[in-house]
Amino acid sequence: MVDLRLPAKGSGLAPHTLRFTAKKIVAAYAGDLAAVAFLLVITFLFYWRILTPDSVNRASFPQGDFTEQFYAFAFFRAQELLSGRLPLWNPFTYAGHPFIADIQSAVFYPIGWITTVIAGKDYPVIALECEAVGHVFLAGVFTYAFGRLRFRGRLPAIVSALVFAFGGYLTSYPSQQLSILEVQIWLPLVLFFAHLATSPKILLRARVVYTVLGGAVVGISALAGHPQAYMYVLYGTMLYLAFRLFEIRADYGGRTFLSALWIPVAFLAVGLGVAAVQLVPTYELMLLSSRAKLSYDFTSWGFPIEDVLQIVLPGSASAISPMYVGIFPLILAVVAVIHHRSRQVVFWALLAGGALLLSFGGHTFLYSVFYLAVPGFSTFRDQERAVYLASFATAQLAGYGAVALADADFAREWIAKLAKVLLVASLGAFALLVGTYLVKTASGRLGDQMSAAAFLFAVLLLSLVLVQAQRQGIANPIFAVAAVGLIFFDLFSVNWKNNLEEKKPEDFYQVTPLVRYLQENSVQGRVVNEHQLPGNYGCVYGVEDVGGASPLEVERFRLLSQLPQERLWEILNVRYLLTWQGGFEGGRKISVENQMNLYELPTPMPRASLLHDVVVKPKDEDALALLASPTFDPRRTVILAEQPGMSVPQAGTSPSQATFSMLDPDRLLIQTNDNEPGILLVSELFYPGWKAWVDGKPAEILRADVALRAVPLDGGKHTVEMVFEPNSVKLGMALSGITLGGSLLLLLGVALWPTRRPS
């Protein structure tokens, strides 16, 4: 089989070779380096409006998830890392949020570190935009490398790289939802090492190296920070490894098959071990989040059935077309399925078809089966993201189609049949174009459909010309250039304006007088932002808000948010309201800016106070009901989830204020002075990992008012320190350290391994 042979001599791909010199690398890989340079140039062309230094033509990624969530997280991460701190806790969203546990913070993602070091503490929006563009380039490079390992020639590898990197999927919403993009571009590199690791008749030392490296890439993918996207990477990896083991079993027998069974286990073990530093705290947060349990109706969203039209008519049903892989690549994929018929083609065709059906979510019954039987699919919504695997699999099929069409032995009569099919398809597209034009003329509608039909006709006609030229015996280099040019024209014409907004990146997060006022006065209390500033604006401006933008919201905070608005703001120390409303009863208007009204609210509860009236309500619903009661005074009485383990004065003793200061985002200091014992109530989110010391001695933190923190104190003067030191992060670091250390020792052992030991 083509896919199991070792590459031919001089191909530049030798999985049994582990040592290269720089001179030999340049000599052996000159063509491949040229291909990588080509991918770099066209990536710049695709995103030239983002990357251009010309301010007149510069555009940016649209305002949305990219700027409101991912840029804000990246900015805060950079501030903390460059201040010499690990960003454990974020005080600027949701009245405090476990930043490191929120996987989309991507605290440990290596490429994020590189961007941080280059961008510095200023960390402009363009820095993250460049990071996103760089990942699209890496998607092309990794897919090209995977293709070069399997295809005979560079043309099919370039074709598959173009289709995956610049197809409708990767250039649509993954760029906005950056963590999806950064997780999923690693799959082709993982499969590159998976293919090498499962190559028959290679030295065991080489098999170990490829397995460890592949597992490490699996871990890096997880650190980029999107669990659902990572689920697809894991399933794609495991399916391909299972397929490779099937091929080994079929072609080399049971003994060779059994000797390779450890490889998928090792891939998973190394990958999950490397990523444990992120996955362990994230798992803890998921168990405590509002997404711990999701219903079928919530998770079953997917593409509408009519979106299938966008496979050939991009833009006909929505502004972006994630299913679109290009017309000529689709033709190549069909050629591969009909003509090539190798095991690899069957595998990729089944994967493409299955993932495409799954992307319709609850609109087909297939998702019900996955929801009930396949781990992970009941945990995430937006099943349209399964089209990722369909896009990647179709890119591989297009590569196999290019192999067939560029083959001199490809049957001439078969090309003639293909040309006839394309002629009929072109006439059909022309008829569709005429029909939509007549409908538009009569009704003034269907403009997008007419444009899509016109483009389909043009690309089909060009494809017909190219196939006819190949039928007439055009030289292979000319055919290769023409094929790549046609794919370039097709995909770039459809997709290059995706995610472009006529706005300069420096226009985001400007410090206006209103923002400056909040920065200077936010120490007096938190802010409520009624959609007037970006969701996570506090991370960038250093302003503490009770809202935010993240899919992983702590469940207890969500429960607390069910309280009446004024009571919620009162106990969360909210002093400022930023709203579109022209008037707010009881509030003092401070300023108006671009129709944003800033109000100061009267006397919020202090951030910390010593209370003497205690009510114990173990059940959340009872505590919430009492908190919501108009007759309940949260300034005098604290509701605990358990007995405080100390005697407190009788009801009626007046509360006393405490002096609160934030030393770092994950370190608080509170001073109290009261002759009577009491409960120190701190308006900070209760979450595992927060630890307290009273006068230097460890103390217990109790859960108060459903979601806040409390510490019992004896009478007298006390200094209370709270520090966020989550055990989940320590455990994750230990597991990742053990995995990395063990992998390095194993690779060192391989380097000293006798060179003639067989697999």
- Look up residue 481 and give its two tokens: 């250039």
8 A C-beta contact, residue 713 and residue 672: yes
Q: What angle do CA 386, 390, 392 make, to 5 degrees?
A: 110
User: Is the separation of the CB atoms in 14 and 7 below 8 Å?
Assistant: yes
Per residue, the 3-state secondary structure of 113-156, as one string, reads HHHHHHHCCCCCHHHHHHHHHHHHHHHHHHHHHHHHHHCCCHHH
Mean pLDDT of 25-51: 91
Strand, coil or helix: 371: helix
Which helix (H) or strand (E) segment holds residue 99: the answer is none
Q: What is the DSSP string of 265-281?
A: HHHHHHHHHHHHHHHHH
Predicted pLDDT of residue 410: 64
Percent of the chain at pLDDT > 70 equals 92
Crossing angle of the two packed helices 72-81 and 110-119, in degrees rounded to 10:
80
For position 444, what pLDDT does the model report? 41
Q: For the segment 687-731, what is each residue's pLDDT rounded down to a tens digit?
A: 999 999 999 999 999 999 999 999 999 989 999 999 999 999 999
* Residue 110: half-sphere exposure toward Cβ, Cα within 13 Å: 9
Total-model pTM: 0.90
For residue 448, pLDDT beyond 60: no
The two three-digit tokens of residue 414, written as one number: 């078969």
Tens of pLDDT along 346-370?
Answer: 999 999 999 999 999 999 999 999 9
Question: Is the pLDDT at 660 greater than 60, yes or no?
Answer: yes
Nearest to residue 44, comparing CAs of 53, 31, 34, 32? 53
Distance between CA 480 and CA 490 in Å, rounded?
15
| Tokens coding 671 | 């001073």
- Residue 548's Cα: distance from chain center in Å? 18
Distance CA 518, CA 526 (A): 9
Q: What angle do CA 606, 609, 611 make, to 5 degrees?
A: 130
CA 747 to chain centre: 30
**Band (652; pLDDT cuts 50, 70, 90):** low
Tens-digit pLDDT profile for residues 389-440: 999 999 999 999 998 887 756 666 677 778 788 888 788 877 877 777 666 6
DSSP letter for 519, please: H
Three-state DSSP at 603 gives: coil
DSSP state letters, 558-570: HHHTTS-HHHHHH
Phi and psi based region of residue 616 (left: phi greater than 0; alpha: psi -120 to 50; beta: remaining): beta
* Joined tokens for residue 220: 């890096």
Contact 661, 669 (CB under 8 A): yes
Cβ(685)–Cβ(554) under 8 Å?
A: yes
Specify the pLDDT at position 662.
87
Provide DSSP, 284-307.
Answer: HHHHHBTTSS--HHHH-----GGG
Q: What is the pLDDT of residue 9?
A: 39
Give the integer Cα–Cα distance in Å for 249 and 268. 21
What are 130-143's pLDDT values in tens digits? Answer: 999 999 999 999 99
pLDDT score for 389: 97
DSSP state of 749: H
* Closest residue by Cα to residue 159 from 406, 476, 399: 399
Q: What angle separates helix 343-358 from helix 387-405, to the nearest 10 degrees?
A: 150
Range 520-548 burial, b when 16+ CB lie within 10 A, else e:
eebeebbbbbeebbbbbbbbbbebbbbbb
* Amino acid (1-letter code) at residue 573: N
pLDDT at residue 10 is higher than 50: no
Amino acid at 745: L
Q: What does the pLDDT read at residue 650? A: 62
Q: What is the rounded distance in angstroms from the CA atom of residue 61 to the CA atom of residue 53?
A: 16
Mean pLDDT of 60-79: 94
Residue 319, SS3?
coil
Bridge partners of 574, per DSSP, are: 526
Looking at per-residue pLDDT, the higher value among 615 and 470 belongs to 615
Q: Of 25-29, 144-148, 300-304, 651-655, which has the strongest mean pLDDT?
A: 144-148
pLDDT at 18 over 50: no
pLDDT band at 758 (very low <50, low <70, confident <90, very high): very low
What is the average pLDDT across 48-63? 92
User: Which two tokens mark 162?
Assistant: 């173009």
Q: How far apart are CA 594 and CA 590, in angstroms?
A: 14
Q: Write the single-letter amino acid at 270.
A: V
| 8 A C-beta contact, residue 49 and residue 500 | yes
Q: According to CATH, what is the number of the domain 608-725?
A: 2.60.420
- In whole angstroms, give the CA distance from residue 253 to residue 261: 13
Cβ contacts of residue 706 below 8 Å, gap of 6+?
556, 559, 560, 620, 623, 624, 627, 639
Residue with tokens 């190559």: 199
From the list 228, 184, 364, 377, the residue with the least C-alpha distance to 298 is 377
Predicted local confidence at residue 3, as pLDDT: 39
| CA–CA gap between residue 150 and residue 163 (Å, rounded) | 17
DSSP 368: H
Residue with tokens 């570190």: 113
Which contiguous run of DSSP H or E holds residue 103?
Answer: none
pLDDT value of position 13: 46
Exposed, middle or buried: residue 473 (CB in 10 Å: 0-12, 13-18, 19+)? Answer: exposed
What is the per-residue pLDDT across 515-568, written as a single tens digit (0 to 9) for each? 999 999 878 899 999 888 998 999 999 999 999 988 888 999 999 999 999 899
- The DSSP code for 522 is G
Is residue 147 within 8 Å of residue 35, measured between CB atoms? no
Per-residue buried b or exposed e for 100-134, using 16+ beta carbons within 10 Å of the residue's own CB: bbbbbbbbbbebbeebbeebeeebbbbbbbbbbbb
| Helical H segments across 167-261, by residue range | 173-176, 178-184, 187-197, 204-223, 227-259
Let me know the angle formed at the C-alpha of 499 by 223 and 113, rounded to the nearest 5 degrees.
30
pLDDT at 120 over 60: yes
Contact, 237 vs 267, CB < 8 A? yes
Provide mean pLDDT across the span 19-41. Answer: 82
CB neighbour class for 656 (10 Å; exposed up to 12, middle 13-18, buried from 19): middle
Task: Please provide the average confidence, as pLDDT, over all residues in the chain.
Answer: 89
- Domain borders along the chain are 186-281+730-759, 509-600, 608-725
Average pLDDT over residues 600-617: 91
Question: Which residues make Cβ contacts (< 8 Å) with residue 423, sequence separation at least 6?
Answer: 464
Model pLDDT, residue 634: 94
pLDDT in tens, 243-288: 999 999 998 888 889 989 999 999 999 999 999 999 999 999 999 9
Q: Look up residue 327 and give its two tokens.
A: 């017309």
- CA torsion sign, 640 to 644 to 650 to 654? negative
Q: Which of 25, 29, 123, 110 is nearest to 67 (CA)?
A: 123
117 has a pLDDT exceeding 50: yes
Residue 14 reports pLDDT greater than 50: no
